[in-house]
Every structure is written in structure tokens, then in C-alpha cells.
Amino acid sequence: MALSSPMVLSLLLFASLTALLVLAPRLSPPPPQQPAADEQAPPATGSGVGGGGGGGGGLRGVGSRAGGEEADDLRLFRRAALESAAAAAGAKAAGPPKVAFLFLTNSDLTFAPLWERFFSGHESRLSVYVHADPAARLLLPPTPSFRGRFVAAKPTRRADASLIAAARRLLAAALLDDPANAYFALLSQHCVPLHSFPRLYAALFPPPPSPSAASAAPRRQRPRSYIEVLTGEPQMPSRYAARGGEDAMLPEVPYERFRIGSQFFTLARRHAVLVVWERRLWRKFRVPCLPEMAQDSCYPEEHYFPTLLDMADPGGVARYTLTRVNWTGSVEGHPHTYTAAEVTPGLVAELRASNHTHPHMFARKFAPDCLAPLLAIADTVLFKD
Ligand SMILES: *[C@@H]1O[C@H](CO)[C@@H](O)[C@H](O)[C@H]1NC(C)=O
Ligand SMILES: *[C@@H]1O[C@H](CO)[C@@H](O)[C@H](O)[C@H]1NC(C)=O
């Protein structure tokens, strides 16, 4: 009996990761034998997701960066990639595929009550993870879906690769935590949903074609990642040179392969595995920006993911994001922040509109005072499809 093609793909992925593991010592130095000072902080694991401590911990995770990647991160990323590859090659996850919601925050999760409404009744098809900057003191107690969902976190800063590292930690924790996690949506505390969960789920997991149509239809495509991939934007030359001039990214990333896109994406599982496994580009993108470039040109989180995915699997990315943002009148690299007075059904309709296959499912950036007006239109507008 012939192997089904997903099986073959899984085996190929496993084989290639195994090959990478064998090659790894030559590609990159092994983690130091001496554990880093933060050794006692375990990388987020299946059980550790619940035990992350609410993101309020003090110095936890402030490890030595000497020699590049911190050892605990390196172990986490390797384990997530290898276990995911092994899981892909083995039995399928039981139950329906899930959407993992990855919240990257450095302040209160003000919109948690809105997300609770969005999640409600769909708990078996989603999971939640939070990476909260340890320096952030979250004043609002986490609501039920967020309680115990904090992953081991490290400090994050703007104009710095720490935002990429945090996103990779979230992806790794979610990969390890639940083999059913099939899509990974990166969100911030300023993001809100624009549609109901079932509408999002139907977009990500289209129902299989009916048996009669199936024979005529072309083979189902592999799930795509929803990530913006742009080229030729005016700010790209300075973004490219920000880490030490025109040659700083060579040879791994020639300028022609350099991409830009929104920081907020929804990745398919195989791309999440790729991101946590990858080290070649990451080693380049995590180099700090030159001080004179840091102010205006240092947004590595807008480049690393689109550049990597466009290099590795250009046909597997939708090239647009499901998360709407308004850059009109942006100030110091921050997009327009909506305030309570702007929240209307008309705004929701405008933000949903998209020129792509799917409407926008999420939007940012919303000020905390938008919670009440958003809750007021949640059932009648936001979650009404
Ligand atoms: C985008 O923000 C600008 C203000 O910076 C505002 O005038 C405009 O209405 C916003 N667009 C949408 C679609 O909300
Ligand atoms: C869709 O495309 C048109 C024409 O290029 C453009 O004016 C409009 O802003 C686009 N809409 C969105 C939501 O991006």
C-alpha cells in the first residue's frame, strides 16, 4: 500500500530535521556545557506552560548573552523543532486542529474580557499562550482563558531582536504544549478580534470538498501562512543597513531577498517549526542595530519572519496578514491608536475589508478605553458574521 503524501512529507521533514541535527554542530556551536545563570528557569514545556508564574517574575531569564543565543532558549527551540517533527511523523493529534493564540505583551491584557467572549464555547479548538515582559507588572488579574497560560518570558524592547526571540519562544511553547495546535496567531495586548471564532476557524480550516467535487478538484493545498511579505518599500535600504552597513547581512541575506511585513502573523504549523529550528538568518537578524540607526531603522521583527518564510517556502505564504493596522498618520513608528470615540460598527466594517481571499480577522492598535464600546457591540457587530 502506498504511503499517503502527508505521511511522505512528514517523513521528509523528519529526515531533514534529523540531517540538520547531525550537521548542527558544524553550523553552530553547541550550547555551552556550563549552564547559564538562569538554568533553574526551565524552558516552557508542556507542563511548564501552566507554571510560568504569571509573567511577573523579577530577574528570571536575564541570562548571559555571551556567545550569542542563551542556552535555555537554544534548548527550547531545538526540542520544539525535534519533538514536532517526530510528532508529525507519528500519529496524528487526537481531536480537531486548534488555533494557538500567542499574546506578546508588556502591559495589561486589557482586552481579555473581549477575547473571553470570542473564545467562549470554542475551547476545544483553541489554546492561549502569553509572553509577558517580566518587567511588566500586569495589574489586571488574568481572566480564565489566560490564567496559567504564561510561558517563560524574557525582557523585550523595541528596536531590538528581543521581540523576535519572544515570538519564537511563544511558537516553541505552543508547539511543545499541544500537537493539535495547527495555526499560530501572534497578537499583542492592543489587538482585537474583528470576526467570530467560527468565522476565523472556517477561513483557516476550510471544509474538505464534497466527495463528488473531490475527484475533479486539484489536490488540496498545504495550509498557507498568513504573513505580509513586501518588497521595494522606501524604508528598506536603511532597514537593511541598520546592523552595520550594506554588507552586514551578507552572505545569508542579499538585499534582493530582504523582505518587510507586519510583525503580526498567523503561521501554519510547519512554518512555526521552521522558525524555531532556524538559526542561520536568526544569527544575522539578532545583531544589534548601530546606535545611529536604532531610532528610525531598527525593526528587525518586521523583517526576520517575512524574509525567512519567503526564502524557505515562497509558495506557502499568502503574503498578506489577517491583522489590520492603520499606518496613516503614524508617529515614531507607532500606528494609529483607536480610542473609544472611534469605535463604531462602521469602523469594524472598514477594518474588516480586505482585497485578499479572507477579510481581516484581527485589528490593532486599540487603546484600553475601547474595551467597553467594543464589548457593547461584540454580539451585534464584531462576532456577527
Ligand atoms: C486611520 O487613521 C487616521 C488618523 O491617523 C484616521 O483619520 C483614519 O480614519 C483611519 N482609517 C481607518 C480605516 O480607520
Ligand atoms: C484595496 O485596493 C485598493 C486599490 O489598490 C486600495 O485603494 C484600497 O485601499 C485597498 N483596500 C484595503 C483594505 O487594503
pLDDT tops 50 at residue 27: no
Range of the domain at 122: 13-21+44-58+68-204+262-277+322-382
User: Within a domain: residue 115?
Assistant: yes
Number of C-beta neighbours around residue 141 at 10 A? 11
User: Within a domain: residue 362?
Assistant: yes
Q: Rounded CA gap, 289 and 82, in Å? A: 31
What is 124-161 written as a DSSP string? GGEEEEEEE-TT----SPPPTTTTT-BPP-----SSST
Range in 20-24, 85-89, 237-241 with the lowest mean pLDDT: 20-24
User: Within a domain: residue 302?
Assistant: no
- Look at ligand 1, atom 11, and give the residue with the nearest C-alpha: 326
- Could you tell me the distance, in angstroms and rounded to a whole number, from the CA of residue 355 to the centre of ligand 2? 6
User: Within a domain: residue 182?
Assistant: yes
Are the CB atoms for 170 and 186 separated by under 8 Å?
A: yes
Relative to beta strand 126-132, strand 181-188 is: unpaired
Instruction: Tally the domains of the chain.
Output: 1
Spell out a b/e string for 206-227, using b for 16 or more CB atoms within 10 Å of the CB, else e.
eeeeeeeeeeeeeeeeebbbbb
Q: How confident is the model at residue 66 (pLDDT cuts 50, 70, 90)?
A: very low
pLDDT tops 80 at residue 143: yes
- Could you tell me the distance, in angstroms and rounded to a whole number, from the CA of residue 356 to the centre of ligand 2? 10
337-375 pLDDT, tens digit per residue, is: 999 999 999 999 999 999 999 999 999 999 999 999 999
Instruction: Name the residue of 192, 336, 344, 370 whose CB sits within 8 Å of the most ligand 1 atoms, as the mutation to test its pocket.
Output: 336
Q: How confident is the model at residue 217 (pLDDT cuts 50, 70, 90)?
A: low
- Could you tell me the distance, in angstroms and rounded to a whole number, from the CA of residue 362 to the centre of ligand 1? 16
Q: Rounded CA gap, 186 and 188, in Å? A: 7
Q: Which pLDDT does position 141 carry in this prediction?
A: 87
User: Within a domain: residue 128?
Assistant: yes
- Could you tell me the distance, in angstroms and rounded to a whole number, from the CA of residue 174 to the centre of ligand 1? 34
Least distant ligand from the CA of 363: 1
User: Within a domain: residue 305?
Assistant: no
Adjacent-strand bridge partners of 127 = 100
User: Within a domain: residue 100?
Assistant: yes
Q: How confident is the model at residue 219 (pLDDT cuts 50, 70, 90)?
A: low
- Look at ligand 1, atom 3, and give the residue with the nearest C-alpha: 328
DSSP 218: P
- Could you tell me the distance, in angstroms and rounded to a whole number, from the CA of residue 351 to the centre of ligand 1? 10
Are the CB atoms for 290 and 252 separated by under 8 Å?
A: no
- Which burial class, exposed, middle or buried, applies to 143 when counting CB atoms under 10 A from its CB (0-12, 13-18, 19+)? middle
- Residues 197-221: what's their mean pLDDT? 78
Q: How confident is the model at residue 215 (pLDDT cuts 50, 70, 90)?
A: low
User: Within a domain: residue 146?
Assistant: yes
Instruction: Name the residue of 194, 323, 325, 328 whose CB sits within 8 Å of the most ligand 1 atoms, as the mutation to test its pocket.
Output: 328
149-163 pLDDT, tens digit per residue, is: 999 999 999 888 999
Relative to beta strand 362-363, strand 192-193 is: antiparallel
In the structure grid, which three cell numbers stand for residue 73, read together? Answer: 532558549
Taking each helix axis as running N to C, give the angle between helix 304-312 and helix 162-177, from 0 to 180 degrees, rounded to the nearest 10.
Answer: 60
